[in-house]
Amino acid sequence: MRIAVLTAVVPFARSRARQLAAELVSALEQRGHRALLVTLPLPAGPLTTEHVLALRTLRLPNVDRAIAIGFPACAVRHASKVVWLPGADRIPPAYGCYLREAEAVYVGAAATALRVKEECGAEAGVLVTAGVNGFDVAARGAGGRNLKIAWFTPFSSGAVARFSAAVTAELAHHADVDIWHPPEAPLQATALRAIVMPRHGDVSAPMLAAYDLAVYNLGGDEGGGGIAKAACAAPGLTILHGPVREELAERRAYAVVVHSESARQFAAAAVAAQVAVFPFEQDAFNARKYVTSLLCLARTLLPAVPVLRCVDMMAARLAEIGVEARAAGVEPMARKACGLFGGGSASSGR
């Protein structure tokens, strides 16, 4: 494939984007592609509308794919354009249309990926890099190892079971996933390890200590089968597929994913946690895009999980001796810990 790697720099100025572009060209050539570095000149002063218009009129003949690194290189048009924004934190609103026209967009942080989705309406993956040959699209566990996820779900029949089979198959490309399911048969086809939950959902936090994150699928026609009880005992990330019982309103989810705006309003009223809306259309479900969004959310959540687990442990110990967590100041501590990964609603700024 003939690939043009584009970056915009001020002549004779040091540029991290240009260094990454040069490394990417080298990496592409090592993989058998014909790659060319295209350096676009930038003015030393503020960027003007005329400069951006000049980039929009640029054409790249004989190029199969264009990879634009940074602003304003992403404004260049091409039928097969990929945008990489490794150092971007804030996305200029005017550049949203350039991201939406790209085949794929990658950013350097999960928070930025969420911002691209909310403010620009574009899906973005996360590439963490200290150099092109080291970039990684997945969230990571301690010590840089693969993320370990316990995925709790009904796994016999029904929409949630089919959803979990599709998502975990894709998620397994980026993380080590175990499927925890209620006692039921037959199961969905999967190459992943399936673990039968204890009856009545008697799962405790120590049982999940080896995992970086637990994901609970709640709601739906097939029922929870003890999953709701496990979600209360060992909190994690909860995916709501439909209404849940009112008594679950006190569950201490670290974050909640819903599939519609109406569900977000219910979740926001029920739990004091980050609420993210991942639009879901069953007939046109794209597991890869869903997993990208899920990993972006996980990356924002993971730094706070050890703190939140300590808070939960403190609350449990206090309950054993009859002290209410709110009175002891543990609940405010939990809210402060939630602030480590944004808090509020990812779709509404709550």
| Domains of the chain listed by start with CATH number | 2-134 (3.40.50.2000), 142-341 (3.40.50.11930)
CB crowding 114-140: b at 16 or more within 10 Å, else e: bbbbbebebbbbbbbbeebeebeebbb
Map residue 215 onto helix, strand or coil.
Answer: strand
pLDDT number for residue 134: 38
Prediction pTM value: 0.54
CA atoms of 203 and 234, how far apart (whole Å): 7
For residue 36, what pLDDT is reported?
A: 92
Contact yes or no for 270/249 (Cβ under 8 A): yes
Task: Tell me the CA distances in angstroms from 88 to 75, 108, 270, 295, one per residue in order.
Answer: 15, 7, 34, 19
| Torsion of the alpha carbons at 21, 24, 30 and 33, rounded to the nearest 10 | -80
Tokens of 329: 């100041």
pLDDT (tens, 9 = 90+) of the chain, 350 residues, equals: 899 999 988 887 777 778 888 888 888 888 888 999 999 888 877 778 888 888 898 999 999 999 999 888 889 999 999 998 877 667 777 788 999 999 888 887 767 777 888 888 888 877 655 433 333 444 444 444 578 899 999 988 888 898 999 999 988 888 889 999 988 777 888 889 999 888 776 787 778 888 888 999 987 655 556 888 888 778 888 888 876 654 444 456 777 888 776 677 666 655 545 677 777 666 667 888 888 888 877 776 666 565 555 655 555 555 555 555 444 444 444 444 444 333 444 443 33
d(C-alpha 11, C-alpha 8), whole Å: 9
Residues 24 and 69 sit within 8 Å (Cβ to Cβ): yes
* Cα distance between residue 38 and residue 70, in whole Å: 13
Q: Whole-angstrom Cα distance, residue 291 to residue 297?
A: 10
pLDDT at 283 (0 to 100): 65
Instruction: Order the strands of the 65-69 sheet from edge to edge.
Output: 34-41, 2-9, 65-69, 81-85, 104-107, 125-126
Q: Please give the pLDDT value at position 308.
A: 57
- Token couple for 299: 């990356």
Cα–Cα nearest to 2, from 84, 89, 60, 75: 60
Q: Rounded to a whole number, what is the distance in angstroms from the first to the last CA of the chain?
A: 45
